[in-house]
Structure 1
Amino acid sequence: MTSRNPSFSPVEVGPSPDASQLRIRWRDGHTSDYPPRLLRVACPCAACVDEMTGQRILVPDSVPAGIHPLAIHYVGRYAIQFDWSDGHTTGIFPFDFLRRLCPCRVCGGEDGTEEIPLPSA
């Protein structure tokens, strides 16, 4: 499986310069800076989203403010998986999903508090 839009493939993934956010530089030249808590709350795994209804079951208030990734793993050429400081490790974040989640104003976000989209099947 590959990302549906080739420009939504990252060329670099790592911390922002101040290490407070996750930075993804995309093939099309766009750079996305994600607050770690936004990513953790957006986790699309079956423990965080009901598999049958698609409803988010993770309670956002249960995610600590200081959450951060301990490790980042590529999943094939289509996604990233995080090992989070709260022990959660099962979420797979497809690149298309991450790009849609970009909180910057160019992509339609404002401050990372907008409704979190669920990945499309």
Structure 2
Amino acid sequence: MARNDFDPATVEPDGRPPAQARLFDPAAGGPWRGSLEGIALGGAVTVLAYGTDTPGAGPRLHVHPYDETFIVTQGRARFFVGETTIDAAAGEVVLGPAGVPHRFENLGPGRLQTIDIHHSPRWIQTDLD
């Protein structure tokens, strides 16, 4: 079914050119790791690639002043978002709301790979542990 959510004639291009940048090097081998701030592309979001082959490993507890959306692309993760624990597998998406401390870890077995979308043109973070 075709989508028709808005009238394209009502949106004026803002003059930004198309842009391209590298998030990670796929030829490097191992889990993807990298970050690309939205300002590098003239965009409104920052994108991170996070991967680990080690069960139990993951980012430390931290918080952002904006939402963060996690896309699990490979493996299984346990997310700790405030007082809530969420187990997610490849193909699932988790939201970390602005101002809510969060972290996640690889549940294994095997590689965990995520794409993390920071709803900000800059990566702004405070580590809590």
Regarding TM over 0.5, the answer is: no
Higher fraction of helix: 1
> Normalising to structure 1: TM-score of the pair?
0.28
Greater relative contact order, per chain length (Cα 8 Å cut-off, separation 6+): 2
Larger Rg: 2
* Higher strand residue share: 2
